[in-house]
Amino acid sequence: MNEKEIEMRNVWNDVKRAVGFIVCVVLLLIALLAVLIFSKINAGIYACVFYLSYMI
């Protein structure tokens, strides 16, 4: 292997690492958003149930 091939391989490894990192961050953000939305929905359901039981 000449220097050019080694350099290209290093660049490719860096690219793969960067892409993997970005994918991980995006997945984490999506998971956080899902949890926030889900907890909001849950809070809404609890509030409705509490309100209804209070009315009855």
Q: How big is the chain by its Cα radius of gyration, in Å?
A: 24
Please write the tens of the pLDDT for every residue from 3-55: 889 899 999 999 999 999 999 999 999 999 998 888 888 888 888 888 888 87
Please write the tens of the pLDDT for every residue from 10-20: 999 999 999 99
Tell me the helices (H) and strands (E) count for the chain, helix number first: 1, 0
Q: What is the pTM of this model?
A: 0.57
The total number of structural domains that make up the chain: 1
Q: Give dist(CA 5, CA 42) in Å, integer.
A: 55
Q: Which two tokens stand for residue 22?
A: 């970005």
Report which residue type is found at 54.
Y
Domain that holds residue 3: 1-55
Residue 12: the pLDDT is 94
More confident: 46 or 56 = 46
